């Protein structure tokens, strides 16, 4: 389960500086995150959450399922073979 971080960090507190800024949910920890130019880690709430997400991508935790061809199939995609 993801940990909650204190909200908001000092660099994120001035949502009034950017009229397009809005509060969103951090995709890593679920805490509040300012989505605007004042938050250099957006959409994440902190550098920690951003690095955790980057590590998950680097270790291939986020993968799309694929259909691997059987081991005895000829080289290439068996759906394209006659």
Q: Within 13 A of 70's CA, how many CA atoms are on the CB side?
A: 5
Q: Kindly report the pTM of this predicted structure.
A: 0.55
Tell me the per-residue pLDDT of 14-72, one tens digit each, with 9 for 90 and over. 545 677 889 999 999 999 999 999 999 999 999 999 999 999 988 888 777 777 766 66
Residues whose CB is less than 8 angstroms from the CB of residue 81 and which lie 6 or more positions away in sequence, other chains included: 73, 74
**DSSP codes of every residue in 17-33:** GSTT-EEEE-TTT--EE
Distance CA 12, CA 7 (A): 9
Domains of the chain listed by start with CATH number = 18-58 (3.30.50.10)
Q: How far apart are CA 26 and CA 9, in angstroms?
A: 13
Decide if 19 contacts 2 (C-beta within 8 A).
Answer: no
Two tokens, residue 56: 């998950």
């Amino acid at each position: 389960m993801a940990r909650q971080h204190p909200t908001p960090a000092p660099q994120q507190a001035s949502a009034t500086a950017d009229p397009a800024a809005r509060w969103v949910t951090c995709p890593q920890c679920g805490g509040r995150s300012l989505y605007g130019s004042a938050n250099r880690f957006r959409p994440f709430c902190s550098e920690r959450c951003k690095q955790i997400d980057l590590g998950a991508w680097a270790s291939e935790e986020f993968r799309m399922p694929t259909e691997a061809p059987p081991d005895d199939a000829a080289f290439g995609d068996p759906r394209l073979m006659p």
